[in-house]
């Protein structure tokens, strides 16, 4: 008979962790299967990817524009009285519930008469959403439709393809038109392509909808308009993680995530000057009086090996890293014996990088108020299987160390005061002006070239 250990030799918390580990064989195998087939290298500086994890919903009819105006965080009606028109460019936005929590992160694209079944009298919008959430979003729309005059339907996969395209060396020319929404898109009214600039991170690229299932290169044979080669969906997700961009309800948790904690203010998904919409009250109150203490950030995962500490400027992807991927929703806590509040929640990852909802004043050197910061650069954090909040120095199978990385663009946005900061507003205005001026110069050069 095996000897019994003294009760004082093992803490109760460790017992719980060891019991969980002993019954987690199936979970570990599934995680290893998910880690198989990782990208062999970081994402290329230029490329494009077919987003098979996203789907489209069509809203068409005379009341579709005012209906969306009262439902989403983005402003769908531009201009001032007495001349107000429907938005003519696509945009990032969100549907919220009545308590201001995110239901769906979406891209919304206007479709003109030449682009689809709609006409100037009967506007049409395409809503891009997480494919797993299509039925939930349709149910949400039907719940609020009442007597509004419009139709809605899910598009078949064969009707349109959804693409992400990027070129870190040069922004798409027509992206300049999407910064100021009252400017028309460079895509002509007769074009079968719909698109917009992806504003979730600087230089993140563009979103494009093409008819049918043909490769994107079929529609953009000119390399100056479409750079790089097609990459798989996992490589696209890896690029999102590098930029700190969350997507879908696997990362922006349905009815739990707050829009500003999900960086939707920095991504320009929220128009704080528009009228009422579902969930506006909490959002606008946080904007004017609150402090956003948690945000989604990229994180580096590492273990206890020597020199395994990650850099502080950006994640480093290592496809050969032998790490156990923590489960989504796992608690992040300090590596210490003293109990305290949770430092955040792990959302998901690839290889040795991931995204997490991080408490800024604990995991970064950002100071949000005049109070003393809780940040200690020597303090390490771990992602634990244990879902309970707290801290422990006891070893546990499956624990992985984690370090939050604050992207430079997000740091500047926070330190400038967020959407309320005059510096942030000024920089956006200057960036828009520079891009428009650049576009005018390119157009003039093309005209001269045609003349010769």
What's the token pair of residue 266? 């920095």
What's the token pair of residue 358? 């991080």
What pLDDT was estimated at residue 295? Answer: 97
Q: Cα–Cα distance between 397 and 391 in angstroms, integer?
A: 15
Q: With left for phi above 0 and alpha for psi between -120 and 50, is residue 199 left, alpha or beta? A: alpha
What pLDDT was estimated at residue 7? Answer: 41
Tell me, what DSSP letter sits at residue 32?
H
What's the token pair of residue 65? 């524009």
What pLDDT was estimated at residue 190? Answer: 55
If you write DSSP's letter for every residue of 163-192 in order, what string do you get?
EEEEETTS--GGGGGGTSTTSPPSS-TT-S
List alpha helices for 115-272, DSSP H: 134-145, 216-219, 233-243
Closest CA to 272 of 413, 420, 138, 390: 420
List Cβ<8 Å contacts ≥24 apart for 11-20.
Answer: 11/392, 11/394, 13/386, 13/390, 13/392, 13/394, 14/392, 14/394, 14/395, 14/396, 16/386, 17/384, 17/385, 17/386, 17/394, 17/396, 17/397, 18/396, 18/397, 20/385, 20/386
Residue 382 parent element (H or E): strand 381-384
Whether the pTM exceeds 0.75: the reply is: yes
What pLDDT was estimated at residue 103? Answer: 97
- Only one residue has tokens 């290889």, namely 351
What's the token pair of residue 107? 């891209």
Q: Cα–Cα distance between 196 and 217 in angstroms, integer?
A: 17
What's the token pair of residue 399? 């624990």
What's the token pair of residue 257? 């995530």
Q: Cα–Cα distance between 206 and 174 in angstroms, integer?
A: 10
- 10 Å CB burial of residue 235 (0-12, 13-18, 19+) is buried
- What is the pairing mode between strands 229-230 and 46-50? parallel
List alpha helices for 244-327, DSSP H: 280-289
Residues with Cβ within 8 Å of residue 158, at least 6 apart in sequence: 212, 213
What pLDDT was estimated at residue 291? Answer: 86
What pLDDT was estimated at residue 227? Answer: 85
- Only one residue has tokens 């210490």, namely 336
What's the token pair of residue 144? 């609020």
Domain 46-283 class?
alpha beta
Query: How do the pLDDT tens digits run along the chain, 452 residues long?
Result: 444 444 434 344 444 443 444 333 333 334 444 455 788 889 999 999 999 999 999 999 999 999 999 999 999 988 776 677 888 889 999 999 999 999 999 999 998 643 334 445 688 999 999 999 999 999 999 999 999 999 999 999 999 999 999 998 875 443 443 433 343 444 555 568 898 999 999 989 999 999 999 999 998 877 667 888 999 999 999 999 999 999 999 999 999 999 999 999 999 999 998 889 999 988 888 888 778 999 999 999 998 765 555 556 789 999 888 888 899 999 999 987 566 679 999 999 999 999 999 999 999 999 887 766 788 888 899 997 654 444 444 545 567 999 999 999 999 999 888 766 644 444 444 454 455 455 555 556 555 655 55
CB-based contact 150:61 (threshold 8 Å):
yes
Give the domain ranges of the chain: 46-283, 292-412
What's the token pair of residue 143? 């719940």
Q: What are phi and psi of 379, to 5 degrees?
A: -75, 135
What's the token pair of residue 201? 């991170």
What's the token pair of residue 427? 């920089």
What pLDDT was estimated at residue 309? Answer: 52
CB-based contact 246:263 (threshold 8 Å):
yes
What's the token pair of residue 452? 């010769």
What pLDDT was estimated at residue 108? Answer: 97
What's the token pair of residue 283? 């959002």
């Amino acid at each position: 008979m095996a000897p019994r250990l003294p009760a004082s030799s093992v803490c109760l918390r460790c017992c719980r962790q060891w019991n969980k580990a002993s019954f987690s064989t199936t979970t570990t195998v599934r995680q290893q299967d998910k880690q198989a087939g990782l990208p062999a290298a970081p994402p290329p500086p230029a490329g494009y990817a077919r987003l098979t994890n996203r789907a489209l919903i069509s809203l068409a009819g005379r009341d579709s524009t005012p209906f969306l105006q009262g439902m989403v965080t983005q402003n769908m009606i531009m201009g001032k009285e007495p001349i107000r028109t429907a938005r003519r460019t696509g945009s990032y936005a969100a549907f919220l519930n009545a308590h201001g929590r995110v239901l769906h992160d979406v891209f919304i694209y206007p479709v003109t008469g030449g682009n689809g079944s709609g006409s100037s009298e009967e506007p049409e919008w395409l809503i891009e959403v997480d494919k797993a959430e299509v039925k939930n979003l349709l149910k949400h729309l039907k719940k609020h439709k009442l007597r509004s005059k419009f139709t809605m339907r899910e598009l078949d996969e064969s009707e349109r393809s959804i693409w992400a395209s990027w070129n870190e060396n040069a922004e798409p020319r027509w992206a300049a038109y999407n910064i100021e929404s009252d400017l028309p898109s460079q895509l002509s009214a007769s074009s079968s392509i719909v698109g917009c600039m992806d504003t979730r991170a600087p230089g993140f690229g563009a979103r494009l909808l093409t008819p049918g299932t043909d490769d994107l290169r079929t529609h953009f044979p000119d390399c100056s308009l479409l750079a790089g080669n097609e990459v798989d969906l996992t490589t696209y997700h890896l690029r999102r993680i590098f930029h700190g961009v969350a997507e879908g309800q696997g990362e922006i948790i349905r009815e739990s995530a707050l829009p500003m904690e999900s960086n939707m203010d920095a991504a320009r998904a929220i128009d704080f000057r528009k009228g009422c919409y579902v969930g506006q009250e909490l959002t606008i109150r946080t904007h004017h009086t609150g402090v956003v203490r948690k945000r989604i950030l990229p994180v580096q995962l590492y273990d206890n090996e020597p020199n395994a500490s990650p850099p502080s400027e950006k994640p480093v992807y290592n496809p050969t890293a032998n790490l156990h991927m923590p489960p989504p929703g796992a608690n992040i806590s300090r590596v210490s014996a003293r109990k305290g509040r949770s430092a955040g929640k792990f959302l998901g990852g690839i290889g040795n990088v991931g995204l997490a909802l991080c408490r800024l004043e604990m995991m970064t050197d950002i100071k949000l108020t005049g109070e003393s910061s809780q940040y200690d650069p020597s303090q390490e954090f771990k992602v634990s299987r244990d879902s309970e909040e707290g801290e422990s120095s006891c070893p546990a199978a499956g624990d992985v160390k984690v370090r939050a990385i604050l992207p430079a663009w997000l740091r500047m946005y926070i330190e400038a005061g967020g959407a309320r900061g005059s510096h942030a507003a000024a920089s956006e205005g200057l960036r828009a002006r520079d891009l428009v001026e650049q576009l005018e110069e390119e157009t003039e050069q093309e005209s001269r070239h045609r003349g010769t």
